[in-house]
Structure 1
Amino acid sequence: MAIVYLSPVSWNSIAQRPHFFADFLAKNEKAKIIWIDPLPSRFPRISDIRTKLIGVEADSISKKNNIKVIKAENIIPVEPFNELYKVVNVFSLKKLIQQIKDEVGSQECSLIIGKPSVFSLQLMNMMKFKYVIADVMDDYPQFFEGLAKVSVNKLLKDILAKVDLSLFSSTGLINKYRSLVSSSLLINNACSYDFFYKSQKIRATLDTSVINSELITYGYVGSVAKWFDWDFIFKLSAEKPNSIIKIIGPNYSESINVPKNVFLEPAVHHSQIPNIVNSFDYGLIPFKVNELTDAVDPVKYYEYTAANVPVISSSFGEMTSRINSGFAVTLDQHLNNKCSVIEPPIFWDDRFKLIDRDILYAI
């Protein structure tokens, strides 16, 4: 059995939902997971030069032997001009499809689409799949503007209308797109067993006698991009000038002057994150509140709670209900000395096992 996974992120990037989904699928050793790194789609920007030069990403989780990663070659990014995209990339796309066919061979095969794209629809037409699943982890049209936004919105709707099952990572997403699909499941995010067990071992070895209770460390682990709320960080810095605020992860934002108690650090391998998170007194999720973040269920929330670290967050997406339930607090609530209750850990296996096994593995 084979599963072709059209990922929205490359394998060699900060660990996200697709990595853990592929890892879960690969636990079935009879399955061959064919991971396709995302094809370049939009026109390059000036800011891309900086991120390519300095290499803002870090390696992800370890790859199981039955996961095969394929990176498309010689793709010219001219979306949202979709017909032109197919014409100028006709030979490269045919080569990629043949490569996928060769990997699948004569096996039964399912397809998981992690990102709306011209290639997704093309592959559905060019290959026979027993089941096709859309795994929607973000409101993708909100990442774009103008004609590109219109194009991605149409691609997403076309894909959702054709697949056998649509998975949504948040209530915001499933509420927005459920009417377009024949079958849907809410599969929220989670954390890995490995992360939880490492956190437990770290906490068991902490020497609480040397902890400086007067020096508070706030931390954020994740991407810094247009949804990151710097005003949140500046306010926390001003209100807690004797604290340390660490921001760790790939930085796609414009250069910004940060206060002296704010430290920007590069992305790290996922295996190092338990050590980092366990050094925090509080875990931060400082996202802007808008239509994009309304669809977000941040993985970092689950990793903070798995490490027994209380969460301070903006009120967006799934975090709104957690703030209302007392599992997280807003910045203002924290500054007014309100404390949160730490939610018990939730694991990826518990999420993904809700999906029909016959559909996943094309049995």
Structure 2
Amino acid sequence: MMHVDWDWIKQRPHFIAEELSHFFDVQVFCRTYPSSLLIKASHKTKTNNVNVHHFYTLPFCFKKGIYWINKFYLKVYFWYFLKKYNPEFLWIPFPTLYEYIPKKKYKIVYDCMDDYTEFGFDKYYNERIKKCEEKLINDSLVIFTSSENLYKKLNEKYYAKIKDKILVVRNAFDGLVLNNEIEEKKRDTKFKIGYVGTVSSWIDFELLERTLEHFKEIEYHFIGPVYPEVSELTLNERIIFHGPVEHEKLYSFVKDYDCMIMPFKLSDLIFSVDPVKLYEYINYNKPIISIFYDEINRFSPYVNFYSDESELMEVLKNLIIQNFPKKYSNEERIEFLEKNTWSNRVSQILEHLM
């Protein structure tokens, strides 16, 4: 089950479903998103063993009345399909999905990939998330978290229930190591700094705009779905949005970029994120800039970190002067990537399923 559309930008649930399909017949049930946020062409799966089913919810599905209507309809929907496919395992990455499951003993896997109550939902929906997560925790055969911070938080809340069935399975990259070389940049053109991922309120656009005032030779390019709270902003013309792009075509967009960036605003939500994009950025063989927080300290050999505005200004100044060098060698890049594939992660998962 997925709380994101299969045609959403490719994330942890997509990659894990594809890798698990080498060992299981995988039926993916995913919520349909508005078409404006989706990839224009559907993701191609790596095997023929992933079958994708879309389910629909009424608009404003987080509101109390609509939530209960959706719950009633989806319980019937999943009763039918679970009876049809009779799965050995149910993979659930978002707590409220568990409300749609009929009362029957399934082998439940809870894959906790975010601190869900920090997304800014209203009070009612946050309470539903908490109640569903507690029940999901109690009923799960095994619990995976994508970060150490999530592991710590779940242990603090549910230690007695989960102490023997929880482990960290971090994010990764898709396994195809790109054969790419960095070309020297001509100084008579602007330096392009790229971001790949969801473009929402967690991007620090105010900080980026101040860097553009200071450095006239840079521009920012954003690839990914743009949420309304961002699309309504009036931003510097050197902040350019390209919309969502198929995962297989991403490198053709970023290959001419001089640097990649992860300019998040720090929050409790971000502190629990193990960003897929940092793994992908390393595969792109580009210099990388990112806000620092403890969860991603292990990326230090590859990433130019900053903690505040003055540090970001200093990082940019040095990179511009030096024509945007990388911190890491190609050998270090390949060694890192070989250890951090989705195939390796699913091998960890299988040890606890088989």
Shorter-chain TM-score range: 0.7 to 0.9
Aligned residues with identical type, % of pairs: 22
- Distance change in 2, residues 1:190/1:100 (3 Å): same
CA RMSD of the aligned region, Å? 2.7
Partner of 2:137: 160
TM-score (norm 1): 0.80
C-alpha deviation, 1:277, in angstroms: 2.6
SS of the residue 2:37 aligns to = coil
Question: Which sections of structure 2, spanning at least 5 residues, go unmatched?
Answer: 307-311, 320-324
Partner of 1:185: 167
Q: Residue type matched to 2:327 in 1?
A: V
Q: Is the 8 A contact 1:72 1:96 kept in 2?
A: no
Q: Which of 17, 28, 38 is 1:57 aligned to? A: 38
C-alpha deviation, 1:217, in angstroms: 1.2
- Distance change in 2, residues 1:246/1:95 (3 Å): closer
Once residues 317 and 231 of structure 1 are traced to their aligned partners in structure 2, the CA distance between those partners, rounded to angstroms, is 23
Once residues 197 and 59 of structure 2 are traced to their aligned partners in structure 1, the CA distance between those partners, rounded to angstroms, is 29
Deviations 1:272-301 (A, max 9, x none): 112223222111101110111111111111
Q: Residue type matched to 1:34 in 2?
A: Q
Q: Which of 279, 298, 318 is 2:256 aligned to? A: 279
Q: Residue type matched to 2:80 in 1?
A: Q
Once residues 356 and 102 of structure 1 are traced to their aligned partners in structure 2, the CA distance between those partners, rounded to angstroms, is 25
Once residues 161 and 272 of structure 1 are traced to their aligned partners in structure 2, the CA distance between those partners, rounded to angstroms, is 41
- The 5 A counterparts of 1:51-90 are 52=34, 55-58=36-39, 59=41, 61-63=43-45, 64-73=47-56, 79=62, 81=64, 85=67, 89-90=71-72
Q: Is the 8 A contact 2:31 2:57 kept in 1?
A: no
Partner of 2:327: 341
Once residues 186 and 14 of structure 1 are traced to their aligned partners in structure 2, the CA distance between those partners, rounded to angstroms, is 23
Question: Which sections of structure 1, spanning at least 5 residues, go unmatched?
Answer: 1-5, 41-51
Deviations 1:49-102 (A, max 9, x none): xxx4x71221464123211212224657655649x8556753542133212321
C-alpha deviation, 1:132, in angstroms: 1.5
Partner of 2:150: 173
Deviations 1:148-169 (A, max 9, x none): 2222122222212221111111
- Distance change in 2, residues 1:256/1:100 (3 Å): same
- Distance change in 2, residues 1:282/1:329 (3 Å): same
Partner of 1:138: 114
Deviations 1:219-249 (A, max 9, x none): 0111111211112321232222122211111
Partner of 1:94: 76
Partner of 1:319: 296
Partner of 2:94: 115
C-alpha deviation, 1:22, in angstroms: 0.4
Tell me, yes or no, if structure 1 residue 212 matches structure 2 residue 186: yes
Tell me, yes or no, if structure 1 residue 16 matches structure 2 residue 11: yes
SS of the residue 1:98 aligns to = helix
Deviations 1:168-201 (A, max 9, x none): 111111111124224111111111123x2xx31x
Q: Is the 8 A contact 1:76 1:89 kept in 2?
A: no
Partner of 2:25: 32
Once residues 210 and 298 of structure 2 are traced to their aligned partners in structure 1, the CA distance between those partners, rounded to angstroms, is 23
Once residues 329 and 78 of structure 1 are traced to their aligned partners in structure 2, the CA distance between those partners, rounded to angstroms, is 38
SS of the residue 2:251 aligns to = helix
Q: Residue type matched to 1:303 in 2?
A: E
Partner of 1:3: none
Q: Is the 8 A contact 2:223 2:243 kept in 1?
A: yes
SS of the residue 2:90 aligns to = strand
Q: Residue type matched to 2:22 in 1?
A: K
What is the count of residue pairs matched by the alignment?
Answer: 325
Once residues 69 and 241 of structure 2 are traced to their aligned partners in structure 1, the CA distance between those partners, rounded to angstroms, is 43
Once residues 76 and 258 of structure 1 are traced to their aligned partners in structure 2, the CA distance between those partners, rounded to angstroms, is 29
Partner of 1:290: 267
Once residues 239 and 60 of structure 1 are traced to their aligned partners in structure 2, the CA distance between those partners, rounded to angstroms, is 40
